[in-house]
């Protein structure tokens, strides 16, 4: 099979820390053009953010259309002197490929490209002998940061040009412990906000002339945190509201502050929409405030909506390919944080399956070469069954 390791090493040696591309998309563009893909590089901009380069490549023009998605941008390496091997060396030691992005997710992209190129070589350079079928790659350079000039705009750009996706495999590091233990079929939504309690500033010696918001915000934090938002659903664990900071902006010990603020984040399941979730929390706040406490919530904008790819023929196909390569039947999971799958899910069913994610974002991020070989076989197995 095509050497996924060689592709991954070339990608890692491009120090593509968000928002820099550093040549990573060029590596992919050259490989895919040589294989007959129509490759397009698209740059998106928005005021206050960096310009981001993205790549879309497709071979074939008919349905069914499967796309492999991913991102070539990586988080900063941290203290590079702390790495056993260079953060962007792409070196192999004791069976592991080292470098920022080895797991998240240049290694996964390399495996998908290797599998696709291998598949096309064995099938005359086209997805199906009857001329039907399409394979594409949706690759962004804006996933690890604000995610405004990447996948969300690339999907819109593709749709405006008549591109229709039937299914997507996103190569995020989904496995928890070993290859084949987990497929992500959904993610909880994420909504952040700030609880603001209004008091009245005054001298601590004259509390009757002030209104202290500190005890009130403490009561409200407990009230909003203690009552569950739901009991979970068939595919999702219960939603969770977590307060992350409390601030009164007061450095003096003899002054009662005028305002108290507490930041929070909610990870919510498919029992809620963003709108119904906000309404629920607002109603609970009104009840807890009664007629005395003056408080409100400042909601932050969010594009991290809950999504679910319902188990069916596509997930069954992926499970079969994973079982064949690993001997394990993966869990269909919705745990973890957000990913670009939240955008893709509005266009087609999407699953997340990649490498083992234990070292992502860490010093000495590394991927087992054997796992990369296995992942390439799994992607190849998915293609074999998808176009059978």
CA distance 343 to 303: 8
Angle at 66 between CA 367 and CA 355, to 5 degrees: 10
CA distance 42 to 159: 14
**73 given a catalytic annotation:** yes
Q: Tell how strand 189-198 and strand 259-268 pair up.
A: antiparallel
**143 given a catalytic annotation:** yes
- DSSP track, 287-353: HHHTTT-EEEEEEPP-----EE--SSHHHHHHHHHHHHHHS---EEE--S---THHHHTTTS-EEE-
Q: Which residue out of 73, 216, 365, 371 is catalytically annotated?
A: 73
184 contacts 353 by C-beta, under 8 angstroms: yes
Q: E strands, the chain, where?
A: 38-44, 52-59, 65-71, 92-93, 96-98, 134-140, 167-170, 182-184, 186-187, 189-198, 202-203, 240-247, 255-256, 259-268, 294-299, 307-308, 331-333, 350-352, 366-368
Q: Which residue out of 104, 143, 371, 373 is catalytically annotated?
A: 143
CA distance 117 to 127: 10
Burial of 5 (0-12, 13-18, 19+ CB in 10 A): buried
CA distance 270 to 234: 9
334 contacts 188 by C-beta, under 8 angstroms: yes
Q: Is the dihedral of CA 70, 72, 76, 78 positive or negative?
A: positive
Burial of 328 (0-12, 13-18, 19+ CB in 10 A): middle
Positions marked catalytic: 73, 143
């Amino acid at each position: 099979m095509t050497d996924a390791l060689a592709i991954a090493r070339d990608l890692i040696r491009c120090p593509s820390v968000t928002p820099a591309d550093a040549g990573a998309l060029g590596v992919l563009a050259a490989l895919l053009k040589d294989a007959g893909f129509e490759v397009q590089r698209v740059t998106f901009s928005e005021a206050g953010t960096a310009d981001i380069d993205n790549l879309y490549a497709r071979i074939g023009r008919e349905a069914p259309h499967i796309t492999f998605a991913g991102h070539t941008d990586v988080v900063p390496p941290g203290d590079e002197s702390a790495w056993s091997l260079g953060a962007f060396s792409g070196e192999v030691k004791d069976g592991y490929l080292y470098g920022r992005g080895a797991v998240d997710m240049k290694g996964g992209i390399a495996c998908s490209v290797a599998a696709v190129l291998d598949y096309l070589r064995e099938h005359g350079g086209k997805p199906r002998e009857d001329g039907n079928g399409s394979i594409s790659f949706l690759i962004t350079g804006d996933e690890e940061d604000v995610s405004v000039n990447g996948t969300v705009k690339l999907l819109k750009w593709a749709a405006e040009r008549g591109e229709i996706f039937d299914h997507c495999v996103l190569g995020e590091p989904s496995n928890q412990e070993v290859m084949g233990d987990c497929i992500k079929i959904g993610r909880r939504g994420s909504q952040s906000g700030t609880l603001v309690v209004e008091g009245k500033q005054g001298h601590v010696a004259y509390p009757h002339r002030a209104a202290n918001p500190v005890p009130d915000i403490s009561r409200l934090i407990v009230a909003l945190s203690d009552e569950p938002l739901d009991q979970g659903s068939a595919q999702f664990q219960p939603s969770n509201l977590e307060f992350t900071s409390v601030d009164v902006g007061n450095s003096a010990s003899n002054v009662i502050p005028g305002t108290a603020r507490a930041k929070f984040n909610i990870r919510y399941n498919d029992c809620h929409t963003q709108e119904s979730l906000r309404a629920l929390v607002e109603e609970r706040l009104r009840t807890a405030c009664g007629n005395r406490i003056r408080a409100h919530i400042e909601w932050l904008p969010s594009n991290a909506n809950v999504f679910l790819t319902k188990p069916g023929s596509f997930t069954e196909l992926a499970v079969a390919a994973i079982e064949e390569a690993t001997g394990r039947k993966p869990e269909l999971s919705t745990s973890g944080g957000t990913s670009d799958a939240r955008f893709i899910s509005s266009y087609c069913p999407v699953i997340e399956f990649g490498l083992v994610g234990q070292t992502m974002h860490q010093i000495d991020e590394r991927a087992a070469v054997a796992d990369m070989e296995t992942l390439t076989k799994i992607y190849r197995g998915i293609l074999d069954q998808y176009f059978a």
